[in-house]
Chains A and B, each alone.
Chain A
Amino acid sequence: MIYEVSEGKTTVRIGLRELGESVYELTIDGKTCRVDAAKSGRMIYSVIENGHQYEAIVDERGSHGFDVLMAGRLFHLDATDERRKLLAHASKVKAEGKQTITAQMPGKIVKLAVAVGDGVSEGQGLVVIEAMKMENEIPSPIDGRVVEIGVREGEAVEMGALLLVVEPQT
């Protein structure tokens, strides 16, 4: 996962991978390192990186603000999941009219939750695609009725393949 971490106007992209209980692999400025970040209390972290230990007190500020008090200094940081930011941006546009839903990535249809003619509501799961060993549920963008289904359960699909069509109910 990629997190965008910013301090004031400076933004840094940090790659994060969970390796185990409180152990992470982080990529920052092209360098990859292994960090053990143990949490105690509410948000008191002990960070060990390459033998260097730092204690830090983290306070959440708003939806993605983190105030980190460390080494005698208070850093006001914002950390956002880059992908979620894109999603949040995309979801701001309210879907209208007939919706053609296509696969955003190649994968396998592991679950088809609806049939043609079913009434669906916005946000309701329609289909689950497995891609890169992770399952992703595709929600209905609108309230409406399923008028067409282009895939079967168990089928492999390419990116851009037609999955379903949902029409608004009038």
Chain B
Amino acid sequence: MFKKILIANRGEIAVRIIRACHELGTKAVAIYSDVDRDALHVRYADEAYPCGPPPAAESYLKAERVVAIAKACGAEAIHPGYGFLSERGFFPDMCRDAGVVFIGPPGDVMRTMGDKVTARQTMERAGVPIVPGVTERLSDEAAERWIRDAGPPVMIKASAGGGGKGLRLVRELSEVRSALQRARSEAKASFGDDGLYIEKFIQQPRHIEIQLLADRYGNVVHLFERECSVQRRHQKVIEEAPANRMTQDLRARMGEASVAAAKAVGYQGAGTCEFLVNPKGEFFFLEMNTRVQVEHAITEAITGIDIVKAMIRVAAGEKLGIRQDEVTLNGHAIEARIYAEDPDANFAPSPGEILSYRVSGGPGVRVDSGVYQGARVTVHYDPMVAKLVTWGQDRGEAIDRMKRALSEFVVQGIKTSIPFHQRVMRHPKFLAGEYDTGFIETHLKGSEPADDGVGEARRVAMMLAAIAAYRRDKERAERLDFRPVAAAAESPWKSVGRRAQMRGSLR
């Protein structure tokens, strides 16, 4: 086992990895940018070194500097967490060349699975269903022929693409020609490359992913699935494990396909195969994440397996030590990502100082967080402040616990998505488990319809608003008394009179 690991990350995932290190008896080394000197991950670490100015590109993404710090302090391995350097294909190679173990897959495997086209080809060869489509660059005529044969709806995507640019949904054959033209010009303008590819459009898809663990000896197991269909702008908001409307048969087929794919590429460490599942229960490979996922904790909750420790152990050369038939599924877990964002301002980030912070507790509740009271949420990094995970013997209990835990969670000073999660937790479609990736767009736009049982809460809230206003006015009036002595001495009546006015003597 490693004696010392450097964590090339920050926030809750750095804290999570430090916890795993300490449980393994391994020293944890933190790195921090100039604004993160006071961050929680620094305080939990055994060693901590500055890595540069606040922008990630000048600190957490400075690969050479991170490796140099690891070498200088004698860390034998680097855990990249998620984001930052975790999926940069060159980074595992750079670590290897420096004689530091990268906790994750080898560089060539990461590059193969990181590229959309080669990942698709690899999966296809491994017998994993992929979204039907053509990945080679097509002329307009060839594209039109393909769409005619496959039938709409289809998605036209930019080969060099990303971020929705050059993306066109075609529902009717008559739209094909203009959609191709517009996608091409958009792709040309955005990426300097007008190459396009086409995929069948999966209607009402659910996002379901399989968690994998692999050692360097070719042992691969899957830890069942997670459903991540509650998304906003392609950002996961709530995840659960196991998935809704899942059958033993579908789980086995998705799990086997993912394991086969991991074996085919010689995968090592923790990874996730993401799929789209249509209403008929057909699944299609979407992409592979070659790192630990944000939502790994719900899988830990239902399997009892510590994924981060497993990653570290296999990177240290240990065998997985668990067979597929020994992996058991127990109960149900839900994760709510608590973001520093304002649900009333179109979920714009809400940075600032956390003035009060009280996390939920009690049975079946886990909070992974990178903040504390007095900590600052800056504009430089991910706005996620905490992950709230609840476990129950079944989905109903997990939801009940989530509702309870959300009501206990207090964050002040910044706006958070806690009220949004509470709204989801009482939505009939969510409660029924009948939702797809269009859930937020379809069901949570606009304000919530009024329902029974709110009247009483509203009445108390209104009274409380009056009390809060009164107390604030009173406190302000009292503060006016603490003016400089000279000014107060001038006219004591003034302050008395003003205070009386504030109190409201004019009845």
Residues of A within 8 A of B (CB): 1, 3, 5, 7, 12, 14, 16, 18, 24, 26, 28, 33, 35, 37, 39, 41-45, 47, 49, 54-60, 64, 66, 68-81, 83-84, 104-105, 111, 113, 125, 128, 131-137
Q: Chain A contacts of B491 at CB under 8 A?
A: 113, 125
Q: With A125-B497, A136-B497, A137-B494 in contact, is A72–B422 under 8 Å at CB?
A: yes
Q: Does B132 reach chain A (CB closer than 8 Å)?
A: no
Closest to B357 in A: A41
Q: Chain A contacts of B464 at CB under 8 A?
A: 37, 45, 47, 56, 58, 66, 68, 70
Q: With A5-B462, A79-B465, A137-B496 in contact, is A39–B407 under 8 Å at CB?
A: no
Contact with A along B333-363 (1 / 0, CB 8 A): 0000000000110000000000110100000
Report the minimal beta-carbon distance from A35 to chain B, rounded to whole angstroms.
6
Closest 9 CB pairs of A and B: A137-B497, A134-B505, A79-B469, A3-B466, A72-B422, A71-B457, A74-B419, A41-B356, A77-B465
Report the minimal beta-carbon distance from B276 to chain A, rounded to whole angstroms.
32
Say whether B462 contacts A28, CB under 8 Å. yes
Alpha-carbon distance A111/B507, docked complex (angstroms): 20
Question: Which chain B residues in 395-424 approach chain A with CB under 8 Å?
Answer: 403, 406-407, 410, 412-413, 415, 418-419, 422-423
Q: With A42-B413, A137-B498, A137-B500 in contact, is A72–B461 under 8 Å at CB?
A: no
Report the minimal beta-carbon distance from B238 to chain A, rounded to whole angstroms.
15
Say whether B412 contacts A59, CB under 8 Å. yes
Q: Chain B contacts of A75 at CB under 8 A?
A: 457-458, 461-462, 465
Contact with A along B446-459 (1 / 0, CB 8 A): 00000000100111
Say whether B355 contacts A42, CB under 8 Å. yes
The secondary structure that dominates the B interface is: helix
Alpha-carbon distance A139/B242, docked complex (angstroms): 70
Q: Does B506 reach chain A (CB closer than 8 Å)?
A: yes
| Partner pick for A41 among B410, B418, B503, CB 8 A cutoff | B410
Q: With A42-B355, A72-B407, A72-B426 in contact, is A35–B463 under 8 Å at CB?
A: yes
Q: With A3-B470, A70-B460 in contact, is A83–B465 under 8 Å at CB?
A: no
| Partner pick for A5 among B344, B418, B466, CB 8 A cutoff | B466
Report the minimal beta-carbon distance from B403 to chain A, rounded to whole angstroms.
7
| Partner pick for B454 among A42, A47, A73, A131, CB 8 A cutoff | A73
A-B contact pairs, 14 of them (CB 8 A): A5-B462, A33-B463, A37-B467, A39-B471, A45-B467, A55-B407, A66-B469, A71-B454, A72-B425, A79-B468, A81-B470, A132-B505, A136-B505, A137-B497
Q: Chain A contacts of B454 at CB under 8 A?
A: 71, 73
| Partner pick for A81 among B344, B422, B469, CB 8 A cutoff | B469
Say whether A72 contacts B406, CB under 8 Å. yes
Alpha-carbon distance A1/B469, docked complex (angstroms): 11
Q: With A75-B461, A111-B493, A137-B497 in contact, is A80–B469 under 8 Å at CB?
A: yes
Q: Chain B contacts of A73 at CB under 8 A?
A: 419, 422, 454, 457, 461
Q: Chain A contacts of B469 at CB under 8 A?
A: 3, 64, 66, 79-81
Q: With A3-B469, A72-B426 in contact, is A49–B493 under 8 Å at CB?
A: no
Alpha-carbon distance A77/B463, docked complex (angstroms): 10
| Partner pick for B410 among A44, A78, A111, CB 8 A cutoff | A44
Q: Chain B contacts of A33 at CB under 8 A?
A: 463
Q: Chain A contacts of B493 at CB under 8 A?
A: 111, 113, 125, 128, 135, 137
Alpha-carbon distance A123/B60, docked complex (angstroms): 56
Alpha-carbon distance A42/B352, docked complex (angstroms): 15
Q: Chain B contacts of A137 at CB under 8 A?
A: 493-494, 496-498, 500-501
Q: With A26-B466, A41-B356 in contact, is A60–B472 under 8 Å at CB?
A: yes
Say whether B500 contacts A134, CB under 8 Å. yes
Q: Does B484 reach chain A (CB closer than 8 Å)?
A: no
Contact with A along B116-152 (1 / 0, CB 8 A): 0000000000000000000000000000000000000
| Partner pick for B419 among A69, A128, A135, CB 8 A cutoff | A69
Say whether A131 contacts B412, CB under 8 Å. no
Q: Chain B contacts of A77 at CB under 8 A?
A: 461-462, 465
Say whether A14 contacts B406, CB under 8 Å. no
Contacts A39-B471, A75-B458, A83-B504 supplied; 13 other A-B pairs, CB < 8 Å = A1-B504, A35-B463, A37-B464, A41-B356, A57-B412, A71-B407, A71-B454, A72-B426, A81-B473, A81-B504, A125-B491, A137-B496, A137-B501
